[in-house]
A = this chain, B = another copy of it.
């Protein structure tokens, strides 16, 4: 069949998350009709991504140099570690510009159903890092059943070692609407209400 190349590209693009057959077809024709340099540049970026990006041997986040920029930045607060599930969570937190400590990537969450226990995560490395001068740990796992369980497990273990442990606040998203918020979120925002008098 003389249209193999397009069909093949559509099939490959359909494997991407959130890209169905129709979107993949649209993307394939866009690539076919774009200026010549674009498909080449895009292909090169895709082809080399796994070679260029590695995991930091200290915190586990994505980096091109080991240790990563954050771990080797001496101006950051080395007494503070923020624990996240995935490497991409680091960029999300960094984008806020509101955090100046270090990170630790767990590589997942405790989930007995999926057969993931603490031994499958980088919990050992975290304990090891915490024993070397860390004072506070912020648990930034996702606010899900598994994320909460993991945070609870880590909190107990770290508090035993005399560390200050905190968790990201739960509540209404900024710019959100009470009318559209779910019951659980409203409940948490009530329990975690802040005193306006004290700022």
Contacts and interface: CB of A to CB of B under 8 A. Distances in A.
Contacts of A9: 45-46, 49
Contacts of A27: 16-19
29 contacts: A2-B63, A2-B69, A3-B53, A3-B62, A3-B63, A3-B64, A4-B64, A5-B45, A5-B64, A6-B53, A6-B62, A12-B42, A12-B45, A13-B42, A17-B30, A18-B26, A18-B27, A19-B27, A28-B49, A29-B87, A31-B50, A32-B49, A39-B47, A39-B49, A39-B50, A43-B43, A43-B46, A46-B46, A47-B47
Interface of A: 1-6, 8-9, 12-13, 15-19, 23, 25-32, 36, 38-50, 52-53, 62-65, 68-69, 87-88, 91
